[in-house]
Structure 1
Amino acid sequence: MSISAESRRVAPGHLPGDLAMWFFILAELSVFAILILAFAVTQALKPQLFGESRLLLNTSTGLAMTLSLLTAGLFAALAQEQVKRSRPRHGAVFLLMALLAGSVYVVLKLTEYRHLLASGLGMEHNTFFTLYWILTGFHFLHVLLGMVILGWLAERCRRGLYNVANRSGLESGVLYWHMVDLIWVVLFPLVYVLN
């Protein structure tokens, strides 16, 4: 059996990555679920305030951030596929591309934060912006950690430390990044679009 055919075969019941990462992701998703629920309930109680406040955000910027994170997720998945095909150095290139796409999100988010602060729309402006800053700030910290992880994974791939038989660490890192993507896919419509 060739290596590529062996790498495509999935063991029944096999979860990618480490079990510890799955528990960590579950814990993080639980925290985000509580914050998202708090935002949704408060919006139901104060729909006019949330509708008016949401108009002060730039939906196009939110969409661009969404596309940058999803693009980074795609590149991270492609890197994982390269390692499965015994091409870890190609995987390193895709991880660097993921890092670059993630950097677009960081620049856009920091620009948005600076604009909001300059407009007097800080955390204490109103309930909407209190929850906006908590939700997006907490997510932003996860993006930064994800970028550190992507950089670390890229270096390990460049050094050829991941292969078909030893890729659990890579899978765990990519899983973390996909969690970051998934959360933003929920946050973008919740915070920027839905009334």
Structure 2
Amino acid sequence: MAERAVAPRLAGDGIVWLLVLAELLTFGLLFVSFAVARHLQPAVFAPGQAALSLHTGALNTLLLVAASWAAVRAVRAFEADRGDLGAHWLLAALAGAIGFLVVKTHEFVGKVQAGFDWATNAFTLLYTLLTGFHYLHVVVGAIVFAVLWRKARSGAYGRSHHMGPASGAVFWHMVDLLWMVLFPLVYVIR
């Protein structure tokens, strides 16, 4: 008897996709606000953006992309009933998230020590809102990876049960995508 074709479906739970949509709309408004304010006040934005480190932003990009890749590898491992391997990949994704947080925290601390005030002007306010809000999303993603990793170590995921890791990966890909817009918009395009 011939196998029936399985209709393709989105990875993860439907609720995570509603969350992703809401977050993308929220960040979209912030991105547009930043772009419009930069257009209207180039003299305010130019020195603020010039003080940002492209190297730090690029390193954070690599950490986020590596974590996304590890999250995909984890889901694929669970789909293949290789739970131990999936747990290792989740740990790698967690390491990427923590690496981002360490680098970004170092950047924030350096700015504060240099006298950075989030309410100085439109640039400092929007920079703080965008990067701070994104930072909080990375914290949530790291917590999700840690919880998934803990459950994976006890054998909770496999071929027939990997919705949790798939939903976590979807959330993380959103975090990664947001940075892919945030980094060029805030750090690169001047």
Per the shorter chain, which TM-score range?
A: over 0.9
CA contact (8 A) 1:70 1:181 kept: yes
Q: Does 1:104 align with 2:87?
A: no
CA contact (8 A) 2:78 2:162 kept: yes
Query: Following the alignment from structure 2 to structure 1, what is the Cα–Cα distance between the partners of residues 103 and 5?
Result: 38
Which residue of the partner structure matches residue 17 of structure 1?
12
Q: Which runs of 5+ in 2 are unaligned?
A: none
Aligned to 2:157, what secondary structure does the other structure show? Answer: coil
Runs of 4+ in 1 over 3 A off after TM superposition: none
What does 1:1-195 align with in structure 2 at a 5 Å threshold? Answer: 11-195=6-190
Q: For each residue in 1:103-152, what CA deviation from the matched residue of structure 2 results, as whole angstroms up to 9, or x when unmatched? A: 11101111100111111122022211110000000010000000000011
Query: Following the alignment from structure 2 to structure 1, what is the Cα–Cα distance between the partners of residues 116 and 52?
Result: 10
**If the length of structure 2 is used for normalisation, what is the TM-score?**
0.95
Instruction: Return the offset for 1:88.
Output: 1.1
1:157 partner amino acid: A
Query: Following the alignment from structure 2 to structure 1, what is the Cα–Cα distance between the partners of residues 5 and 48?
Result: 48
Query: Following the alignment from structure 2 to structure 1, what is the Cα–Cα distance between the partners of residues 149 and 56?
Result: 28
Query: Following the alignment from structure 1 to structure 2, what is the Cα–Cα distance between the partners of residues 22 and 87?
Result: 26
Instruction: Return the offset for 1:13.
Output: 3.5
Q: Which runs of 5+ in 1 are unaligned?
A: 1-5
CA contact (8 A) 2:74 2:165 kept: no
Query: Following the alignment from structure 1 to structure 2, what is the Cα–Cα distance between the partners of residues 31 and 118?
Result: 30
Query: Following the alignment from structure 2 to structure 1, what is the Cα–Cα distance between the partners of residues 105 and 179?
Result: 16
Number of matched residues?
Answer: 188
Aligned to 1:80, what secondary structure does the other structure show? Answer: helix
CA contact (8 A) 2:83 2:158 kept: yes
Percent identity (aligned): 39
CA contact (8 A) 1:89 1:159 kept: no
1:21 partner amino acid: V
